[in-house]
Structure 1
Amino acid sequence: MAIPTIVIGLLLIIVGLIGYFLGTPPEGADAVSVTALIPAFFGAVLFVLGLVAAQIKGKAVMHVMHVAVLIGLLGLVGSAMRIPKSIAAVQEGGEALALYAQSAMAVLCFIYVALCIRSFVNARIKKQAE
């Protein structure tokens, strides 16, 4: 699961950077809020955990991957909770880029959590078969 963790991490970093650099500042602000980089922050953590998991062996990999899936789950819940507010903001004439970034983060985190759960189940089945 190290490679999928690295890939999802990179994709989340890209989503965050796109949201930050292509976003427009709100009225009265000089720059886009740092909150636009939240997907990038989650992605950076997942990327690092993926690199760590690729370098270590044994039970330590399991612990690192459990931390990574927890980060992915937090990203999924956090981004999914914000989507309804972003939809309402877009309907009132707000910028749609935040909605796209939050939706992309939710989808990527959902895919990642689903892949991790499948991997954990397969590992448990393999362990029981031995």
Structure 2
Amino acid sequence: MAKLTLVFAVVLIALGLIGFIGTGSAHPTALIPAVLGLLLGIFGALAITPNEGRRKLFMHINVTLGLLGFLGTVMGLVQWFQMLAGAAVKNPPATESKAAMALICLIYVALCVRSFIAARRTRLV
């Protein structure tokens, strides 16, 4: 799961850079996904270790970051669905970026939880 975390980190960094460059480099808040991706990348790299305790610690930090990323952007996902239904939103590119980050973080957290459950089941057997 630690290597998959690095993939999600790269995706979030790319999302942040695309959002920042796509808005004419005028809105530094567009880099928030990149910052989250950088943190996931750092802790994901630290989780690649044979030490089980250390790996568990850093993966739990990563899933917490992913959950915080989702909770912080879930309203963007709601606004995106409203935008698709025809409602006007204040800043469509920001809404799309927040919705993308929310979906990426939700998928990441779901995969982490599934991995944690599988690891626990394996340990109990």
TM-score, structure 1 length as denominator?
A: 0.84
Deviates more, 1:78-87 or 1:93-102: 78-87
Name which structure has the greater RCO, CA cutoff 8 Å, separation 6+: 1
- CA-CA distance at 1:87 after TM superposition: 6.8
The equivalent position to 1:118 in structure 2, one of 114, 121, 125, is 114
Alignment RMSD, CA only? 2.1
Partners in 1 of 2:95 and 2:44 — Cα distance?
A: 27
Q: Secondary structure in 1 aligned to 2:26?
A: coil
Q: Secondary structure in 2 aligned to 1:54?
A: coil
Any gaps of 5 or more consecutive residues in structure 2?
A: none
Any gaps of 5 or more consecutive residues in structure 1?
A: 25-30
Please tell me whether Structure 1 or Structure 2 has the larger radius of gyration of its CA atoms: 1
Deviates more, 1:91-100 or 1:59-68: 91-100
Partners in 2 of 1:7 and 1:83 — Cα distance?
A: 22
Q: Sequence identity, in percent?
A: 37
Call closer, same or farther: CA 1:79–1:93 in 2, change over 3 Å.
Answer: closer
User: Is the contact made by 1:87 and 1:99 (CA closer than 8 Å) also made in structure 2?
Assistant: no
Q: After superposition, what is the alpha-carbon deviation per residue over 1:88-124, rounded to whole angstroms, capped at 9, x for unaligned?
A: 7894464421121111101110110001000100011
User: Is the contact made by 1:73 and 1:110 (CA closer than 8 Å) also made in structure 2?
Assistant: yes
Equivalence for 2:5: 5
User: Is the contact made by 1:89 and 1:95 (CA closer than 8 Å) also made in structure 2?
Assistant: no
- 1:54 matched to 2:48? The reply is yes
Call closer, same or farther: CA 1:32–1:89 in 2, change over 3 Å.
Answer: farther
- CA-CA distance at 1:33 after TM superposition: 1.9
TM-score, structure 2 length as denominator?
A: 0.87
The total of aligned residue pairs comes to 123
